Amino acid sequence: MWPRTDLTELLGLEHPIVQAPMAGSTTPALAAAVSNAGGLGSLGCGSMSLDDLGDTVAALRAATNRPFNLNFFAHSPPAFDARIDAATRDRLRPFYSELGVAEPPPQDRAPTGPFDDDTLSAVLAIRPAVISFHFGLPAPESVRALRDAGCRVLSSATSVAEARRLDAAGVDAIIAQGWEAGGHRGAFEASADDVGVGTMALVPQVVDAVGVPVIAAGGIADGRGIAAAFALGASGVQMGTAFLSCPEASVSDMHRAALRQARDDDTRLSLAFSGRPARAKNNRYIDAMSRTRDRLPDFPLMYELNEPLRQASVAAGTEDFQFLLYGQAAALNRELPAGELVRALARDAQSLLAAR
């Protein structure tokens, strides 16, 4: 038994374990395996076209009849600034030259945008049990429409102030994401890459500030972390990095190798890849871009400028310009099938909680 069951009852789960969406790394097979094992499988849909969304959800539904979560970005549309774009190209031009790649053509709009009316219509047709958001929430009328359709709405908070805003907006549960988490911080506004609150400090303060279940995220990798989250007042956990080592995850061989060799101190928060702070393995590119705090193009426009560098690094088999996302607890990862991992995490956590 779990010491609190408000989250499992709310979402229809056996175990209060949410697999983080991780756009680009999650697959229908991964999400289905987690859901079938009693957790909440998730798909990162922020960069999908509506056609891809439909096909991906169809594959997921063919593999599970349990609740699953679809995750979307709720950031402000990017504002193109020609001066920032030109200055950033000047910073990157030596890398383009060194790697022998063409500078990307000018592009003043992102290929994919935040959650909009077309996406809302598509999601309402799908009616997932759970929908979650990163970087805030879409318009209030969209949130109401989703809840009226029977979807449970979650969103990430990286501070108590953000958590209070989510609670007032009517979300069903809040993901309190600590600074240790891999991937993009869910902050509502882009912040400096050295600003953040750790999970141990954030979770109990959010629990005290809101009236809905809180899901702890960031640096939780095993049963000990899950038990600690419950001790802090959380009703469940969200884990991302732990699932990257599962065979069902869409992760490159180099990324898997990095996870196997991970240390507690080998990742870094950086805006250099996307324009928003994201925790990834430190490398030459991140290190070089961190030496100045010059403003970068808004998320996700920055991706377009460094994509040729990333592709060249992949082709050369080096980590120098790759975006290898994972959190500070990656060294605790276990290479298990996702369903087996969920069951092991639940068993270990329940054993520790029972011994308290």
Residue 279: CB partners within 8 Å, gap ≥ 6? 180, 181, 182, 183, 185, 267, 268, 269, 270, 325, 326, 327, 328
Percent of the chain with pLDDT over 90: 90
Q: What's the whole-model pTM score?
A: 0.96
Residue 351: CB partners within 8 Å, gap ≥ 6? 223
Residue 111 has pLDDT above 80, yes or no: no
* pLDDT given at position 329: 98
The closest alpha carbon to 46, from 113, 107, 108, belongs to: 113
Compute the mean pLDDT over every residue in the chain, rounded to the nearest whole number: 95
Q: Whose structure tokens read 């882009």?
A: 190
**pLDDT, tens digit, 9 for 90 and up, residues 175-216:** 999 999 999 999 998 777 777 899 999 999 999 999 999 999
* pLDDT given at position 76: 87
Give me the mean pLDDT over the 30-45 stretch.
98
pLDDT band at 315 (very low <50, low <70, confident <90, very high): very high
Amino acid at 227: A
Structure tokens at 33: 């395996």
For 74-123, the DSSP string reads -PPPP---HHHHHHHHHHHHHHHHHHT-PPPPP--S-SS-SS-HHHHHHH
Identify whether the C-beta of residue 236 lies closer than 8 Å to the C-beta of residue 8.
Answer: yes
Residue 132 DSSP one-character state = E
* pLDDT given at position 208: 98
* pLDDT given at position 225: 98
Give me the mean pLDDT over the 222-242 stretch.
98
pLDDT band at 146 (very low <50, low <70, confident <90, very high): very high
* pLDDT given at position 278: 96
**pLDDT, tens digit, 9 for 90 and up, residues 165-182:** 999 999 999 999 999 999
Give me the mean pLDDT over the 277-299 stretch.
94
**Terminal C-alpha separation, the chain:** 13
Give me the mean pLDDT over the 220-233 stretch.
98
State the Cα angle at 288 between 284 and 289, rounded to 5°: 120
Residue 110 has pLDDT above 90, yes or no: no
pLDDT band at 253 (very low <50, low <70, confident <90, very high): very high
Identify whether the C-beta of residue 135 lies closer than 8 Å to the C-beta of residue 75.
Answer: yes
* Residue 190 Cα to chain centre, angstroms: 15
The closest alpha carbon to 165, from 192, 143, 195, 190, belongs to: 143
Give me the mean pLDDT over the 19-36 stretch.
97
Residue 113 has pLDDT above 90, yes or no: no
* pLDDT given at position 92: 97
pLDDT band at 352 (very low <50, low <70, confident <90, very high): very high
Give me the mean pLDDT over the 55-62 stretch.
97
* pLDDT given at position 1: 82
Domains and CATH numbers, the chain: 6-76+113-265+330-354 (3.20.20.70), 79-111+284-323 (no CATH)
The closest alpha carbon to 153, from 140, 141, 170, 177, belongs to: 170
Structure tokens at 132: 């979650």
pLDDT band at 120 (very low <50, low <70, confident <90, very high): very high
The burial of 109, by beta-carbon neighbours within 10 Å (0-12 exposed, 13-18 middle, 19 or more buried), is given as exposed
Among 22-31, 73-82, 241-250, 275-284, the least confident range: 73-82
The closest alpha carbon to 157, from 243, 68, 86, 218, belongs to: 218
Identify whether the C-beta of residue 15 lies closer than 8 Å to the C-beta of residue 39.
Answer: yes
